[in-house]
Amino acid sequence: MSENQIPQSEFDHESNANNPGGFFAGLLLGGLAGAGAMMLLAPHSGKRTRANIQLKSIELRDQATETVEDAVSQARAKALHITNNARREANHMQQVGEDMLDEKKQQASDKARKISASIRKEAAHLQHRSENVLDEQIERVSDVVEAGKSAIQGVDHD
């Protein structure tokens, strides 16, 4: 036999593997064997098996209901927790805002007092200067009046 030749037994095996009829026949035979084994090995009668299935389905339904109720309860508790945290945070932020507002009001009030004091001080300074200027002007006018009187008296004596 040469290297390129395929032995006859391998060729027959490949042609059987590619035959769909053989596959389905094997599938049918395996299914029948499994069904027969199930009938022989089934622990209970059909009626009892159906009753067990019904009981199990009721148990599963109850477990699913309980699980859903637990999940809803947990979701509500989590939502309440988040809501309470949000309220606390909102109250805290409101308090911080009010504190900042009070602080800014106090700063503005302090500045207004400083500006008012500065204006009063400047007004007092200007009043003092104007009094000095007025006193100087009165003194000059007085000097001029006295000089005018002296000049008039000097003219009257002549």
Q: Is residue 60 part of a domain?
A: yes
Residue 21: pLDDT band (50, 70, 90) is: low
Q: Is residue 18 part of a domain?
A: no
| Cβ–Cβ < 8 Å for 51, 44 | no
Q: Which domain holds residue 88?
A: 38-150
Token digits of residue 47 = 């009626």
Q: Is residue 25 part of a domain?
A: no
- 3-state secondary structure at position 3: coil
Number of domains in the chain: 1
| Cβ–Cβ < 8 Å for 42, 49 | yes
- Give the pLDDT confidence of 50-92 residue by residue, as tens digits: 787 788 888 888 898 999 999 999 999 999 999 999 999 999 9
For all residues of the chain together, what is the average pLDDT? 83
Range from 45-49, 62-66, 80-84, 99-103 carrying the lowest mean pLDDT: 45-49
Q: Is residue 5 part of a domain?
A: no
Whether 44 shows a pLDDT value over 50: the answer reads: yes
Q: Is residue 15 part of a domain?
A: no
Residue 11: pLDDT band (50, 70, 90) is: very low
pLDDT at 55: 85
Higher pLDDT, 1 or 111: 111
Whether 24 shows a pLDDT value over 80: the answer reads: no
Q: Is residue 94 part of a domain?
A: yes
Q: Please, where are the H alpha helices in 18-45? A: 20-41
Whether 124 shows a pLDDT value over 50: the answer reads: yes
How far is it between the farthest Cα atoms of the chain? 176
Q: Is residue 131 part of a domain?
A: yes
Q: Residues 16, 32, 37, CA angle at the centre, nearest 5°? A: 125
pLDDT at 150: 86
Token digits of residue 31 = 């299914």
Q: Is residue 28 part of a domain?
A: no
Residue 7: pLDDT band (50, 70, 90) is: low
Q: Which amino acid does the sequence have at 11?
A: F
What is the C-alpha to C-alpha distance for residues 79 and 39, in angstroms, rounded to an integer? 53
pLDDT at 27: 74
